[in-house]
Structure 1
Amino acid sequence: MRAAIGLWRWRHNPVRRTTDVIEAWVALTAAVLLCLAVPAAGLAAGLSANGSLQRAVRAQYQERVPTVARVVRTAEEGAGRRTAEEAGEQRLRPAVVAEWTAPDGSSRTGTLNTTRQHARPGDAFPLWTDRSGRPVPAPMHPETARAHALIAGLTVAFLGGLLVETARRLVVQRLVRRRYARLDRAWAQAGPDWGRTGTGS
């Protein structure tokens, strides 16, 4: 971060220009924003995201019920019609016909994908269902929610810092252009007398 470089322009000297003072104020403002406002924005975003995600996690744990499913047989239907992507998915998470118990105590049977590459009849694996007994994805872990919230907070802080630094650079660039324009005008006024002032020529 080069925002602090402009702070030297606060010092009093006879050649200090108005643009130097403005650049110093811009540097100071950028430094304060980067040290205080940007981290505060990132923290607020992270806490807000974590609160929302944790509420979603609690709702998922209330709506979903863990149970155990047992493999009845492998599911080979439609093997000839699978695409390459579906075939890869089938190798990683083979489909099986399994049975499980719904929250109301009734027995259910259906085709499920397992995380085991070799599922044999009688094998058991964990399963989450909704209140009616339909298979659903496992709820998000609270630590995963916190990790997502942390990423959200860091992203907001990074984007905020990038915005502040970009604004600072744009202002400084405009100030530099103004200095060059004033210098060009000064040279244009002094140009016809270059090197001859005070020589009596």
Structure 2
Amino acid sequence: MPAATGVWRWRRNPLRRTTDLIEAWVGLASIGLLCVLVPLAGWAAGSTAHASLQRAVSAQQEQRQPTTAQVVRRDETPTRGGSTAGALGEERLRASVVARWTAPDGTSRTGTVSAVREEPRPGDTFTLWTDREGRPAAAPMRSGTAKAHAAVVGVTVAVLAALLVDTVRRLAVRRLVLRRYARLDRAWASVGPDWGRADTGS
């Protein structure tokens, strides 16, 4: 890592400049932040996301429940022209049917839903998730899926934090380099006109 090279400038050296020492401090600080702040930020973000997603999983599991639906007939309603290619592909995998199921209050419901089978036939049964009112709903999120999403959030935040630390380090080093060049320009401007002349400085 380029930041580690700045640590070697801690050594006492008659040629060491103030900017070299500052660059060493910047390198040491960036290494410390990468070792401490980046993992901490990733862990905090992942933990927060995991707790939030687990609450959502619990809420969905309480509000939704599975029931057995029976196919009455295929839904022959034509597909809308505005459907995307992805939506059309999903519709082929999950056929639209008119089905009958029992709501949580015991009443019989009939409606158009998506069946799991590609070629459902009248009388076929499949699992249908409903809300408390008996309306079709999406299946609740699984706990493993929530953990995977939380892990992705944690890793993403850690990577972004590492990029931020490295970007700040690069900007600081660039500013130090520009200061060195400015000092060299001023020094050259003061001695440049006399460079190469005999008895200069005597």
TM-score, length-normalised on structure 2? 0.93
Gaps of at least 5 residues in structure 2 are: none
Q: Write out aligned runs for 1:126-165 (5 A).
A: 126-165=127-166
Task: Give secondary structure in 2 for the equivalent of 1:70.
Answer: strand
Q: Which residue of 1 aligns with 2:81?
A: 83
Task: Give secondary structure in 1 for the equivalent of 2:14.
Answer: coil
Tell me the number of residue pairs that the alignment of Structure 1 and Structure 2 aligns.
Answer: 199
Structure 1 residues 40-73: Cα deviation after superposition (integer angstroms, max 9, x where no partner):
0100110010001001100100000111111010
CA distance in 2, matches of 1:53, 1:176: 47
Q: Is the 8 A contact 2:71 2:97 kept in 1?
A: yes
TM-score, length-normalised on structure 1? 0.93
Task: Give secondary structure in 1 for the equivalent of 2:68.
Answer: strand
CA distance in 2, matches of 1:109, 1:16: 83
CA distance in 1, matches of 2:94, 2:144: 25
CA distance in 2, matches of 1:152, 1:197: 69
Q: Which residue of 1 aligns with 2:47?
A: 47
Deviation at 1:26, TM superposition (A): 0.4
> Structure 1 residues 32, 115: CA separation in 2 closer, same or farther (over 3 Å shift)?
same
Deviation at 1:107, TM superposition (A): 1.2
Q: Is the 8 A contact 2:74 2:97 kept in 1?
A: yes
Q: Is the 8 A contact 2:194 2:200 kept in 1?
A: no
CA distance in 1, matches of 2:6, 2:46: 32
Structure 1 residues 121-170: Cα deviation after superposition (integer angstroms, max 9, x where no partner):
11111111011100100000111101110011111111111110000000
Q: Which residue of 2 aligns with 1:181?
A: 182
RMSD over aligned Cα, in angstroms? 1.8
CA distance in 2, matches of 1:197, 1:22: 38
Deviation at 1:101, TM superposition (A): 1.0
The percent of aligned pairs where both chains have the same amino acid is 63
Q: Which residue of 2 aligns with 1:16?
A: 16
Q: Write out aligned runs for 1:48-127 (5 A).
A: 48-77=48-77, 79=78, 82-83=80-81, 85=83, 88-127=89-128
